[in-house]
Amino acid sequence: MKVDNLSISQSLLKALTKYAEKKECGLKVEALYIKGAKGFTTDAQALGNWFEYKCTGALPAYHPEVPEPKVLKSGKLSVAYERMLNQVENYKEAIKHYNVTDIQSGVSMNWGNITGTADIIAKVNGKKSIIDLKTTALFDDKWNDFGWNTEHLAGEFRPKLTLLIQALHYKWLYKELHGEDLDFYFWVFSTTNQHDFKIIKVHIEEELYEEHANDIRVGLNFLMHNFKTGFKAIPNISRCAKCFLNENCKEKVKVPEVSEVWFSTTIKHITKNIGD
């Protein structure tokens, strides 16, 4: 791949941020986003891919194959897939209730080096909108970065950027392409309770669009720099154990590095004073 062909998606932008913070290995980022490796599909991802396919008919972007459900020896769907089959019916009911029409599934959006794929672009009660389908076991989790508790999703002091950046990226990208600021919805379906389903409309402040454009420019420069100089391994015992590159990676670690902490008399005295 040439430098000119490098592109930025919202998932790559998140991966580059984690790499810059040394929370992700550069070799994995390179394999997935530069070399086009598929990586592992977790059980949760497989379940989500199957659910989205049943709802929209669109194939997974990074694994363009028809997802197959997990079945029991009897031939029946496993409990998890049976539960999500009920969620498919919830999806269909919501489509009717909110008068979702003119549905386009798996819509690719490409503007220069910037890319994105919307699960659905459709009219919701007559207003053109982007809908992103999510399946989660963290349906009402407050504290996990991937938890979908609505009150904590965009909290003033700790907004869940890992989730919200997708809404910002897709709205910004569509606006740059077509000059329209579409509504954006997350349709969130629980994988642990067939009745838990919520719809979240995300509002974006205007100034965030320019911030996002700048973040993309920084991300693209960072990507090109690492493409030229080489992505660096950042081994970690937990990440290495779960990485799809593990078998042949020369940089993997099997034992943890030694961490050091300093417990000084000053700290001891401060702690004592606080207790007093």
Would the CA dihedral through 155, 185, 146, 89 be positive or negative?
positive
Among 110-114, 119-123, 175-179, the range scoring the smallest mean pLDDT is: 110-114
The yes-or-no verdict on residue 35 having pLDDT over 70 is yes
Higher pLDDT, 15 or 62: 15
Among 108-122, 142-156, 233-247, the range scoring the smallest mean pLDDT is: 142-156
The yes-or-no verdict on residue 270 having pLDDT over 80 is no
Question: What domains lie within the chain, and their CATH numbers?
Answer: 3-275 (3.90.320.10)
- What integer pLDDT is reported at residue 115 of this predicted model? 94
Amino acid of residue 6: L
Q: Which residue has the tokens 């974006």?
A: 204
Q: What is the pLDDT of residues 4-15, one digit of tens each?
A: 678 899 999 999
Mean pLDDT value across residues 121-134: 97
Q: To the nearest whole percent, how much of the chain has pLDDT over 90? A: 78
Q: What is the pLDDT of residues 150-192, one digit of tens each?
A: 988 987 667 888 999 999 999 999 999 999 999 999 999 999 9
Mean pLDDT value across residues 59-76: 86
The yes-or-no verdict on residue 133 having pLDDT over 80 is yes
- What integer pLDDT is reported at residue 159 of this predicted model? 82
- What integer pLDDT is reported at residue 150 of this predicted model? 93
List, as own/partner pairs, every contact residues 82-89 make where C-beta atoms lie below 8 angstroms and the sequence separation is at least 24, other chains included: 83/191, 83/192, 83/193, 83/194, 84/47, 84/50, 84/51, 84/54, 84/135, 84/189, 84/191, 84/194, 85/54, 86/194, 87/51, 87/135, 87/189, 87/190, 87/194, 87/197, 88/51, 88/54, 88/55
- What integer pLDDT is reported at residue 267 of this predicted model? 56
Nearest-angstrom CA–CA distance, 91 and 149: 20
- What integer pLDDT is reported at residue 228 of this predicted model? 92
Mean pLDDT value across residues 128-135: 97
Residue 274 — very low, low, confident or very high, per pLDDT cuts 50/70/90? low
Across the strands, what pairs with 130?
121, 184
pTM: 0.88
- What integer pLDDT is reported at residue 38 of this predicted model? 85
Higher pLDDT, 178 or 266: 178
| CA of residue 104 relative to chain centroid, distance | 21
The yes-or-no verdict on residue 276 having pLDDT over 60 is no
Q: To the nearest whole percent, how much of the chain has pLDDT over 70? A: 93
Residue 129 — very low, low, confident or very high, per pLDDT cuts 50/70/90? very high
Angle at 137 between CA 131 and CA 140, to 5 degrees: 80
